[in-house]
């Protein structure tokens, strides 16, 4: 049964409003995407009714014969797709998945080396306000004046501080991550390298970003973003670390997995293994580069001067316009982005200098490089001239010509 006015009018109306919003707006938040109807169906399937604490063949509840097959299928697809020995598909999301890495391989008070949040890292890589920064000793590396990861600084800090774990990856890194260089540094200082590829997992399996496999013994990824799956996470590792990872996830951090999400992950991984997914990944990067190039032509400063991935970080410092008012103006114009700190930002995190945008969702809707020129021009019109109303109409017209998967026609 679908949710209608006869079942729950209030929630039904809210869902319809969100459907209309997603259909009519230009979604440029790089961590958002559209899932396929098949992923959406699995997420809302009868597996919502199950409880399956434990692992396949070792459950604490009876009646999980089919659930076991679903989880095994998801894990097998993950190991094949990423080329790893072991996959745990149970983490609820990226943050608890990262926490499982700490639980498996570190003790409270151990030193952790991660990218600083203002430089593009993630809260769970040892930042102060996160539990990972309160329970562990977080040391941070950053970027150089060119906006790229300062690998010399990473090595110097690693050799001086001897961290237990080094995290590479983050949430606002527009350039290719050199996993091989991070792996050499980790070996030199005796640390475990953990790669957080949440943002770029789809680019990795699509062959447009190097893989951390062979360099990072432990890999965490969320299953949405560029991978176009449900809101979940996976931990990938070599055989030697499989038992520690599994114990950290269950019983270390969580109880029963969300079996409907596991099924949706399996569907998404099956889709990502198809040849057309590589075409999608290439288009994501091509679109991001085209969008970045046009923004540069229009006079905007971009962190690192452009992008190699799906993500662009606009630095508005020299414009005198804050990232927050810019993002809110874009939202009113139907262009959904997020305000974000930029490296060496002098403004506060809740009122930073940057706007973060990306191309996964618009590429899923079939937009191409020519459309990126139009989008960049819209961004410029909104930020520089405040032309919100007319841009909103033009955005809605373009979106109507490119229906989104999983949304009502």
The gap from C-alpha 158 to its chain's centroid, in whole angstroms, comes to 26
Could you tell me which residues are beta bridge partners of residue 167?
194
Q: Judge contact between 269 and 76, C-beta under 8 A.
A: no
Task: From the candidates 19, 32, 53, 286, give the one annotated as an active-site residue.
Answer: 53
pLDDT in tens, 70-119: 999 999 999 999 999 999 999 999 999 999 999 999 999 999 999 999 99
Q: Which residues of 232-264 are buried (b: 16+ CB within 10 A; e: fewer)?
A: bbbbbbbeebbebbbebbbebbbebbbbbbbbb
Does residue 121 have a known ligand-binding role? yes
Does residue 398 have a known ligand-binding role? no
In a domain, 314, yes or no: yes
Active site residue 300: no
Over 70: is that where the pLDDT of 237 sits? yes
Active site residue 152: no
Same domain, yes or no: 304 and 192: no
Instruction: Return the HEC string of 136-173.
Output: CEEEEECECCCCCECHHHHHHHHHHHCCCEEEECCCCC
Same domain, yes or no: 223 and 341: no
Same domain, yes or no: 49 and 156: yes
The domain tally of the chain equals 2
Average pLDDT over residues 329-350: 95
Same domain, yes or no: 380 and 291: yes
Active site residue 289: no
- Of 225, 244, 273, the last residue of a domain is 273
pLDDT band at residue 2 using 50, 70 and 90 as cut-offs:
low
In a domain, 175, yes or no: yes
In a domain, 22, yes or no: no
Task: From the candidates 196, 345, 371, 388, give the one annotated as an active-site residue.
Answer: 196
Same domain, yes or no: 206 and 179: yes
SS3 of 20, please? helix
Average pLDDT of the chain to the nearest whole number: 96
Task: From the candidates 16, 19, 32, 51, give the one annotated as an active-site residue.
Answer: 51
Backbone angles phi, psi at 121, to 5 degrees: -80, -170
Task: From the candidates 72, 155, 231, 381, give the one annotated as an active-site residue.
Answer: 231
Q: How confident is the model at residue 169, as a pLDDT?
A: 96
Active site residue 222: yes
pLDDT in tens, 263-322: 999 999 999 999 999 999 999 999 999 999 999 999 999 999 999 999 999 999 999 899
* Structural domain that includes position 120: 40-273
Residue 308: which CATH number?
Answer: 3.90.1150.10
In a domain, 334, yes or no: yes
In a domain, 405, yes or no: no
Same domain, yes or no: 269 and 172: yes
Same domain, yes or no: 136 and 235: yes
Same domain, yes or no: 50 and 191: yes
- Of 273, 288, 316, the last residue of a domain is 273
Task: From the candidates 27, 77, 164, 225, give the one annotated as an active-site residue.
Answer: 225
Does residue 117 have a known ligand-binding role? yes
Active site residue 324: no
Does residue 310 have a known ligand-binding role? no
Query: H-type helices in 206-304, by residue range?
Result: 242-247, 259-272, 275-297
pLDDT in tens, 186-232: 999 999 999 999 999 999 999 999 999 999 999 999 999 999 999 99
In a domain, 72, yes or no: yes
Residue 196: which CATH number?
Answer: 3.40.640.10
Over 70: is that where the pLDDT of 1 sits? no
Same domain, yes or no: 217 and 71: yes
Task: From the candidates 222, 223, 262, 341, give the one annotated as an active-site residue.
Answer: 222
Active site residue 231: yes
């Amino acid at each position: 049964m679908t949710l209608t006015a006869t079942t729950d009018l209030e929630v039904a109306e809210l869902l319809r409003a969100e459907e209309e919003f997603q259909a009519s707006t230009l979604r440029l938040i790089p961590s958002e995407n559209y899932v396929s109807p098949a992923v959406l169906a699995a997420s809302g399937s009868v597996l919502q009714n199950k409880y399956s604490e434990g692992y396949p063949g070792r459950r604490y509840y009876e009646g999980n014969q089919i659930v076991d097959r679903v989880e095994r299928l998801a894990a097998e697809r993950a190991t094949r797709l990423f080329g790893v020995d072991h996959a745990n598909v149970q983490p609820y999301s990226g943050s608890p998945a990262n926490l499982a890495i700490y639980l498996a391989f570190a003790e409270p008070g151990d030193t952790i080396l991660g990218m600083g949040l203002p430089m593009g890292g993630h809260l769970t890589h040892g930042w102060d306000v996160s539990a990972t920064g309160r329970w562990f000793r977080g040391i941070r590396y950053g970027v150089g004046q060119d906006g790229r990861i300062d690998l010399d600084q990473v090595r110097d800090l690693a050799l001086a501080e001897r961290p237990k774990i080094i995290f590479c990856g983050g949430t606002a890194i527009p350039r290719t991550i050199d996993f091989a260089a991070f792996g050499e540094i980790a070996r030199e200082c005796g640390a475990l390298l953990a790669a957080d590829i949440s943002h770029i997992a789809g680019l990795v399996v699509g062959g447009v970003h190097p893989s951390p496999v062979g360099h990072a013994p432990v890999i965490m990824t969320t299953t949405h973003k560029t991978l176009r799956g449900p809101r979940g996470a996976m931990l990938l590792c070599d055989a030697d670390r499989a038992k520690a990872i599994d114990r950290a996830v269950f019983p270390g951090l969580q109880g029963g997995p969300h079996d409907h999400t596991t099924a949706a992950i399996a569907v998404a991984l099956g889709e990502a293994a198809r040849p057309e997914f590589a075409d999608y990944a290439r288009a994501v990067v091509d679109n991001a580069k085209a969008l970045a190039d046009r923004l540069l032509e229009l006079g905007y400063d971009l962190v690192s001067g452009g992008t190699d991935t799906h993500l662009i970080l606009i630095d508005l410092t020299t414009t005198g316009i804050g990232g927050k008012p810019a993002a809110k103006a874009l939202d009113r114009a139907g262009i959904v982005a997020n305000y974000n700190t930029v490296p060496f930002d002098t403004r506060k995190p809740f009122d930073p200098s940057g706007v973060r945008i990306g191309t996964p969702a618009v590429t899923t809707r079939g937009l191409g490089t020519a459309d990126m020129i139009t989008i960049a021009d819209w961004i410029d019109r909104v930020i520089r001239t405040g032309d919100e109303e007319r841009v909103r109409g033009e955005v809605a017209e373009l979106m109507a010509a490119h229906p989104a998967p999983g949304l009502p026609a």
